[in-house]
Amino acid sequence: MPSQAMGALQLETDLRKAIENQELQIYYQPIVLLKTAKITGFEALLRWEHPDLGFVSPTKFIPVAEETGLIIPLGEWVIREACKQLHLWQLQFPSAEITMSINFSSKQFAQTNIVESIKDILNGYDLQPKHIHLELTESVLVENSQAIDQTLKQLKALGLILCLDDFGTGYSSLSYLHRFPIDILKIDHSFVMGMSSNDDRNSKVEIIQTILALAENMGMKVVAEGIETQRQLAKLRALKFEYGQGYFFSKPVDNKAIEDLLAAQSQG
């Protein structure tokens, strides 16, 4: 067997065990209002600490979970955990007005009761649907499946906020944006990285300006991903970008570390 396939097979076996043994954990990364740096929400990001390998990147194990169908129980667990966490933070920090963004794989649309399941979780934790942001990638939209269209409409009708993740990296097309009820575009971090150069007229900036105008016309909000430097932040602010996330504000961290951030914010 080629070593890559062996690797995937071992990862699958280990991932099954990891789910049973609760080796998986969720980290949270703040999403902030760029003008004030106030935290407005978090993105839930899966972390797996493998007993021998240490931290395994989700970019490695999510594809394995998707291929094997494990993403369905795993994805549901993430939704439940992240919603429970949001509920607890809302009780602890009632004035904070925070949202939770959850990555949602296209494979999760295969879960037949997904809309009911999410509805039950929201009711169970007494959450307003508008505080839950589902992050989808363009791969979902290009599948062109009636079942997915239907489910997205139901999730939207439930009141959830739909975000298009990694925008600008894939097949982004105006027609998808018209067909789907997307509320938020998350501009991929490659655009933010491209803004580091001295030349203000570089093409990344021009593309970003076009995306901003498009979003405004279509009534969508924009979030910039991967802000790492003060300089990038200043440029995004100058472009009137509203929201952002990145290492400059905080890396993804565990729930205890987030509580410290929220406590500091509620005092300040």
**Where does this chain bind Mg ion (CB under 5 A)?**
103, 135, 165-166, 225
Query: Is residue 133 within 8 Å of residue 160, measured between CB atoms?
Result: yes
Query: Is residue 142 within 8 Å of residue 173, measured between CB atoms?
Result: no
Among 103, 122, 236, 244, binds ligand C2E (CB under 6 A): 103
Among 19, 23, 50, 58, binds ligand C2E (CB under 6 A): 58
Cβ atoms within 10 Å of 78's Cβ, excluding its own = 21
Q: Comparing C-alpha atoms, which of 81, 70, 57 is closest to residue 105?
A: 70
What is the Cα–Cα distance from 14 to 40, expressed in whole angstroms?
36
Please state whether beta strands 221-224 and 184-187 pair in parallel, antiparallel, or not at all (unpaired): parallel
| Residue 139 vs 202, nearer CB to ligand C2E | 139
The reply to whether 105 sits near ligand C2E by the rule CB under 6 A is yes
Q: Comparing C-alpha atoms, which of 213, 173, 167 is closest to residue 191?
A: 167
Under the phi-then-psi rule, with left for phi > 0, alpha for psi from -120 to 50, and beta for the rest, what region is 104? beta
222: β partners: 185
Query: Is residue 105 within 8 Å of residue 75, measured between CB atoms?
Result: yes
Q: Residue 134 Cβ, how far from ligand C2E at the closest point, in Å?
A: 10
The reply to whether 112 sits near ligand C2E by the rule CB under 6 A is no
59 binds, among ligand C2E, Mg ion, none (CB under 5 to 8 A by kind): ligand C2E
Binding pattern for the stretch 146-175 against ligand C2E, x by CB under 6 A and - elsewhere? -------------------xx---------
Largest CA distance in the chain: 58
Query: Is residue 213 within 8 Å of residue 219, measured between CB atoms?
Result: no
Query: What contacts 112, CB < 8 A, 6 or more positions away?
Result: none
Binding pattern for the stretch 21-50 against ligand C2E, x by CB under 6 A and - elsewhere? --------x---------------xx----
| Residue 45 vs 212, nearer CB to ligand C2E | 45
| Residue 102 vs 115, nearer CB to ligand C2E | 102
Binding pattern for the stretch 210-229 against ligand C2E, x by CB under 6 A and - elsewhere? ---------------xxxx-
Site residue total, ligand C2E (CB under 6 A): 23
Q: Which residue is nearest to ligand C2E (CB)?
A: 246
Q: Which residues bind ligand C2E (CB under 6 A)?
A: 29, 45-46, 57-59, 62, 75, 78, 103, 105, 135, 165-166, 189, 225-228, 245-247, 252
